[in-house]
Amino acid sequence: MEKERIILGIDPGTQVMGYGVLRVVNNKPEMLAMGILQLSKYDDHYLKLRRIFERIIGLIDEFLPDELAIEAPFFGKNVQSMLKLGRAQGVAMAAALSRDIPIFEYAPLKIKMSITGNGRAAKEQVAYMLQNFLKIPDENMLPQMDATDGLAAAVCHFFQTNNPSQEVKFTSWKDYINKNPGKVKK
């Protein structure tokens, strides 16, 4: 029996929003779609937010994702830009929530690290690694790196959920000591 899931990845933005759709069948990922939503043509910030919501709903209706992976806003020097980016992310999340799709948020460094092994990798490196990993033909690669950033969020989520770290839960300090005898000096 084949197990399939669809992951929608979003790189939120108020000028350009990137997205990627990943299908995973029996733990083998393949890209279904990748693209951008060009928002710089709109002057009204609230209209941009509406367009983001409408596009995410359209992607959800088209691909029926099981999960949404989204890049978290990073702390920059420009507070106004950060607030606008947070709103864009919130609207994308609201679209997913309106369709009962679970949301997973990843820091930009985490996404880059999971794709390239380097949290400070350039966007071009991320795109190159995604193209090789997913075997995307040159003609299907887009010049806008926001698209590959959206796809990278989906691939990061795939890696995180298919290779979960064996996190051990502890109920008390005594439980920790009993489960880690080599880490405690008596």
- Residues marked active site are found at 11, 71, 146
Q: Which of 165, 141, 161 is nearest to 151 (CA)?
A: 141
Return the amino acid letter for 97. L
Q: How far is CA 40 from CA 51, 136, 167, in A?
A: 11, 28, 43
* Whether the Cβ atoms of residue 39 and residue 16 lie closer than 8 Å to each other: yes
Chain centre distance of CA 53:
16
Burial class (CB in 10 A: 0-12, 13-18, 19+), 149: buried
Does the annotation list 30 as a binding residue?
A: no
Distance between CA atoms of 67 and 104, rounded to whole angstroms?
A: 8
Does the annotation list 66 as a binding residue?
A: no
Distance between CA atoms of 44 and 141, rounded to whole angstroms?
A: 30
Which runs of E-coded beta strand occur in the chain?
A: 4-11, 16-25, 28-38, 67-71, 103-106
For residue 96, what are its two tokens?
């997913």
Does the annotation list 71 as a binding residue?
A: yes
**Binding-site annotation: residue ranges for Mg(2+):** 11, 71, 146
**Binding-site annotation: residue ranges:** 11, 71, 146
